[in-house]
């Protein structure tokens, strides 16, 4: 008998037929004698429909009220799932985030889980029930409803698994695991049976949208093994995200592409100490995350600093820099949003020599020009023209996996 | 400055335009310096849509889960209203039934309000906010969501008005008050400026669906004056439901028709003591409410008992009686569901002589045959053929009001 937390996303519970399929998956494990907690997202388009309703009334609806509004979506899906399970003759009970003991910070629309008070969940499990928990939501110290923002339901599942010491945390998505590259685009992409938390974090941040970073970080912190698998192909083993201990040896785990990136070059900055700090301090104060940074070697007492930001932040970043032009004393700003970041990720990468060279050789063979390069302990990223990105991913994947 | 509880039904908040109209009504009173609590129902068809989703999954969904499901409807409307008000620059906050301190019994789908713990509402009002409360819902002692059943949002509004000693409780519906007869059907029907609780109770139970009985009963018990008015014609005074003290003198307050009724006759029952008790005890144990009862004078040592039930309970009532045929020892059951109940209501009716005679004369003139008659302190009901009902109402209304 195992104690399993399962999470199903919005597309897995989008209609009655899919709810019944998920109920079947839950039922199978329950009948095998396991204790089951299922965390659900809102059905399919519910959240978008609710956002649309709010936008008809206000251009800037208050976040507290948006949380009351949006949290109703998960309440609907958990009630429906409990109804489907009871209809199969199985004892089930739905719990809201609050009832499940999810305490959060009071940051409406992006609350952080602070504590999981699991007594109600445990009592219901002890009564032999399948417990269905509304993901993405909790309650703050003011007794108000909060939502957790992007990746919220995954995070709810991992937090519950951590707090209640579950044996497994299974995240069901519409893909059946983590692949060495996007299987819809790269022929020969293969599913990984295991991946480390750190590799998964890099892959997620690089545009491989399987698990949200927050849930992986929480899994890493509390040592919760997370299995990614598909509700559409039940029985097919997925990918297990875990610590490094039992990992199989591979050079790299995957190739990822991120087209949501834009490059900014600040040219002709004074070549004095602290200038980089001042540039990035301004950008940070504008709430913009910077990714790859490249600084040219100074010449003529000036230097250039290039960096990438998410595409949607490009205009704000430029505006921030222009406002501070007199203080920063640069000569010009150049931007390019027709770029993409292509990366390889692997925990053992830095100890294996020649990985970077292999990657660059693949790009050279595919005639892809590299704009910028960034490396970390477990990844190498290059910035390329957006139109070259798919060819780059394909070439690199062939190089490493064929 | 007054302290006003306002309740708006589902059709009043069905879409963005209507929400804005209701927000305008609330805003006007708030800007005039009043403290405002607004209780809302779920938007238009939301409840029906949610019921449909559940019925796709189960023929008999558990009531607890239905309450979790359906209560999300009011959460959506209160959040949207708060968003609309904030967009007008007014401070507003939405509260769920639980947050508003509505404690109920644990009878899922038909919970009774046991207590209103108003500290959160009062705190928000003291902070100058308009408080928007989700109607129809509360929380039981197990920390579970409950819904109040039919008329639930009206009841929420009156309960809050009673517990917090509000000056007024205004129920906005799609009609602008209580009429002497259905204004869509009876020419010359006129709006009452006042009506007593008891008269309103009789009218509501007779098919004039303006206020639900539960809210009127609660208003009567706690002395809350309830004004019925329309959100579609703001500014037009409605009808005030109150105690008898300041009532104007009228013979009768209104004429009502109820077509949701069916007649059952149990024939050839033994003319022995206790037989009526045994018949109605069985019916009550089946959870069926009986309305008009008529017992024939015994002859040949047998008697007939006729009574009316809601149309939807007719089959269940017959089945109950047939199952007990050997004990009850009747000869036959006769049923008729093509009947309607037509009633006149008036607090001063029994002290004014000739009211019944006037009613019967009107029916005689209109050539309407009377099947059964029932009277109470403040009403006289007759059972007629369903096809005669509108003509009967019209004739009676002309007799009394022209």
Contact B62 A53 (CB under 8 A): no
Of A397, A401, A396, which Cα lies nearest the Cα of A361? Answer: A396
How far A320 CA sits from the closest chain B CA (Å)?
29
C-alpha span between B155 and B41 (Å, rounded): 11
Percent of chain B with pLDDT over 90: 57
Mean pLDDT check: name the lowest of A52-66, B25-39, B217-231: B217-231
Determine which of A374-383, B17-26, B338-347 has the lowest per-residue pLDDT on average: A374-383
The secondary structure element, H or E, covering residue A81 is helix A63-87
Do residues B276 and B305 make contact, with C-beta atoms less than 8 angstroms apart? yes
Give the strand pairing for B379-385 and B339-345. Answer: antiparallel
Is the CB of residue A224 less than 8 Å from the CB of residue A154?
A: no
Phi, psi (rounded to 5 degrees) for A18: -70, -35
Q: What pLDDT does residue A57 have?
A: 96
**pLDDT tens, position by position, A85-129:** 999 999 999 999 999 999 999 999 999 999 999 999 999 999 999
Q: Closest approach of chain A CAs to the CA of B105, in angstroms?
A: 18
A58 contacts B69? CB cut-off 8 A: no
pLDDT of residue A15: 96
Q: Could you give the CA distance from residue A111 to residue A152 in angstroms, rounded to a whole number? A: 9
Average pLDDT of chain B, as a whole number? 89
Mean residue pLDDT of chain A comes to 89
pLDDT at residue A143 greater than cutoff 60: yes
Place of tokens 């704000």: A316
Q: What is the pLDDT at residue A126?
A: 96
Q: Of the candidates A65, A94, A144, which has its C-beta nearest B68's C-beta?
A: A94
Cα separation, A146 vs A123, whole angstroms: 24
Which two structure tokens, joined as six digits, stand for A249? 């040896």
| Whether residue A28 has pLDDT greater than 90 | yes
- Dig out the tokens for B73 from the structure: 């409807």
Nearest CA in chain A to B68: A79
How high is the pLDDT of residue A298?
A: 62
Is B207 within 8 Å of B341 (Cβ atoms)?
yes
pLDDT of residue B181: 84
User: Comparing A161-165, A379-383, B29-33, B246-250, which segment has the lowest mean pLDDT?
Assistant: B246-250
Compare CB distances from B65 to A65, A68, A94 and report the shortest one's residue.
A94
Q: Kindly list the residues of chain A whose beta carbon comes within 8 Å of any beta carbon in chain B.
A: 16, 19-20, 50, 53-54, 56-62, 64-66, 68-69, 71-73, 75-76, 78-80, 82-84, 86-87, 93-94, 96, 99, 120, 143-145
Candidate from A92-101, A293-302, A370-379, B38-47 with smallest mean pLDDT: A293-302
Q: Which of A51-65, A365-379, B303-317 has the lowest mean pLDDT?
A: A365-379
Chain A nearest C-alpha distance from B120 (Å): 10
Helices vs strands, H then E, count in chain B: 12, 20
User: What is the share, in percent, of chain A residues with pLDDT greater than 70?
Assistant: 94
Chain A interface, mutation test: which of B14, B26, B38, B72, most A Cβ atoms within 10 Å?
B72
**B263 touches B371 (CB < 8 A):** yes
- Asked if B50's CB is within 8 angstroms of A76's CB, the reply is yes
A327-381: per-residue pLDDT in tens? 888 999 999 999 999 998 887 676 666 777 788 888 888 998 888 887 776 788 8
Q: Is the pLDDT assigned to residue A248 strictly greater than 60?
A: no
| Chain A residues close to B77, C-beta within 8 Å | none
More confident residue, A192 or B78: B78
Contact at 8 Å (CB) between B70 and B38? no
Is B80 close to A57, i.e. CB distance below 8 A? yes
Angle at CA of residue B391, ends B11 and B233, nearest 5°: 25
Q: Is A327 exposed, middle or buried (0-12, 13-18, 19+ CB in 10 A)?
A: exposed
- Radius of gyration (Cα) for chain A, nearest Å? 23
The interface predicted TM-score of the complex, written ipTM, equals 0.75
* Residues B39-56, mean pLDDT to the nearest whole number: 95
**Element (H or E) spanning B276, and its range?**
helix B275-285
Selecting from A62, A80, A83 the residue whose C-beta is nearest the C-beta of B83 gives A62
Spatial contact of A300 and A330, defined as CB atoms under 8 Å apart: no
Contact A86 B58 (CB under 8 A): yes
Neighbours of A301 (CB within 10 A): 10
Q: Which residue of A has its CA nearest to B93?
A: A65
Q: b/e per residue, B162-174, with b = 16+ CB within 10 A?
A: bbbebebbbbbbe
Q: How far is A180 from chain B (nearest CA, A)?
A: 38
Tell me the range of A230-244, B61-75, B194-208 where mean pLDDT is highest. B61-75
Question: Residues A306, A309, A311, A316: what is their CA dihedral angle, to the nearest 10 degrees?
Answer: -90
Nearest CA-CA partner of B172 in B7, B5, B4 = B7
- Mean pLDDT value of segment A262-279: 84
Give the one of A68, A83, A120 whose C-beta lies nearest to B61's C-beta.
A83
Q: Which residue of B has its CA nearest to A82?
A: B65
Q: Is B228 helix (H, G, I), strand (E, B) or coil?
A: strand
Q: A213-225 pLDDT, tens per residue?
A: 889 989 998 999 9
Q: What is the pLDDT of residues B152-193, one digit of tens each?
A: 999 999 999 999 999 999 999 888 888 888 888 888 888 889
All residues of chain A having their beta carbon less than 8 Å from the beta carbon of residue B90 are: none
**A94 vs B contacts (CB less than 8 Å):** 65, 68
Largest Cα separation within chain A, whole Å, is 79
**Tens digits of residue pLDDT in B356-398:** 778 888 888 899 888 888 777 678 888 999 999 999 999 999 9
Burial B295-314 (b: 16+ CB within 10 A, else e): eeeeeeebbbbbbbbeeebb
Say which residue, B263 or A300, is predicted with more confidence: B263
In this predicted structure, what is the pLDDT of residue B247? Answer: 45
Judged by DSSP in three states, A216 sits in helix
From the CA of A39, how many Å to the nearest CA of chain B?
A: 16
CA distance A19 to A12: 7
What domains does chain B contain, in order, with CATH numbers? 3-174 (3.40.1160.10), 262-336 (3.30.70.260)
Interface of B with A (CB under 8 A): 16, 19-20, 50, 53-54, 56-62, 64-66, 68-69, 71-73, 75-76, 78-80, 82-84, 86-87, 93-94, 96, 99, 120, 143-145
Residue B23 to chain A, least CA–CA distance (Å): 11
Interface A-B: count of C-beta contacts within 8 A: 116
What is the C-alpha R_g of chain B? 23
Structure tokens at A217: 């970080």
Q: Is A108 left (phi over 0), alpha (psi -120 to 50) or beta?
A: beta
**A71: which chain B residues are within 8 Å (Cβ-Cβ)?**
75
Cβ-contact B42, B77 below 8 angstroms: yes
State both tokens at A231: 């509700």
**Residue A380 CB coordination number (10 Å):** 22
d(CA A5, CA A170): 6
- Which pLDDT score, from 0 to 100, does residue A134 have? 98
**Among candidates B388, B382, B362, which has minimal Cα distance to B370?**
B382
Contacts of A79 in chain B (CB under 8 A): 54, 65-66, 68-69, 72
Q: Check residue A111 and give its pLDDT.
A: 94
Place B8 in a pLDDT band, splitting at 50, 70 and 90: very high
């Amino acid at each position: 008998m195992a104690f399993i937390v399962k999470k199903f996303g919005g597309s897995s519970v989008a209609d009655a037929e899919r709810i019944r399929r998920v109920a079947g998956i839950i039922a199978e494990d329950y009948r095998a004698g396991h204790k089951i907690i299922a965390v659900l997202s809102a059905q399919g388009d519910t959240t978008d429909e609710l956002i649309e309703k709010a936008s008809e009334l206000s251009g800037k609806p208050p976040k507290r009220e948006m949380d009351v509004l949006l949290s109703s979506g998960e309440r609907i899906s958990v009630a429906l799932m409990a109804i489907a399970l009871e209809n199969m003759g199985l004892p089930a009970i739905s719990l809201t985030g609050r009832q499940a003991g999810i305490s959060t910070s009071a940051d409406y629309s992006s609350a952080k889980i602070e504590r999981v008070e699991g007594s109600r969940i445990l009592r219901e499990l002890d009564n032999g029930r399948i417990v269905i928990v509304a993901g993405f939501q909790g309650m703050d110290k003011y007794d108000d409803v909060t939502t957790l923002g992007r990746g919220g339901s995954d995070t709810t599942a991992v937090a519950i698994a951590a707090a209640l010491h579950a044996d497994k945390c299974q995240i069901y998505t519409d893909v059946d695991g983590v692949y060495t590259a996007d299987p819809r685009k790269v022929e020969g992409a293969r599913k990984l049976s295991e991946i480390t938390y750190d590799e998964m974090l890099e892959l997620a941040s690089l545009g491989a949208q399987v698990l949200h970073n927050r849930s992986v970080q929480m899994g890493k912190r509390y040592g919760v093994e997370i299995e990614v698998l598909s509700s559409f192909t039940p029985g097919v083993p997925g990918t297990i995200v875990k610590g490094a201990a039992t990992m199989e040896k591979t050079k790299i785990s995957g190739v990822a592409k991120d087209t949501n990136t834009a490059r900014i070059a600040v040219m002709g900055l004074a070549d004095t100490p602290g200038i980089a700090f001042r540039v990035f301090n301004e950008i940070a104060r504008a709430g913009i995350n910077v990714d790859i940074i490249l600084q040219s070697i100074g010449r003529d007492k000036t230097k250039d600093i290039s960096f990438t930001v998410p595409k949607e932040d490009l205009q704000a970043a430029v505006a921030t820099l222009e406002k501070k032009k007199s203080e920063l004393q640069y000569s010009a700003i150049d931007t390019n949003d027709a770029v993409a970041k292509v990366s390889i990720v692997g925990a053992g990468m830095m100890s294996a020599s020649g990985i970077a060279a292999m990657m660059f050789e693949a790009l050279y063979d595919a005639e892809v020009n590299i704009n910028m390069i960034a490396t970390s302990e477990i990844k190498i990223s290059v910035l390329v023209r957006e139109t070259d990105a798919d060819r780059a991913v394909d070439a690199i994947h062939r190089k490493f996996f064929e």
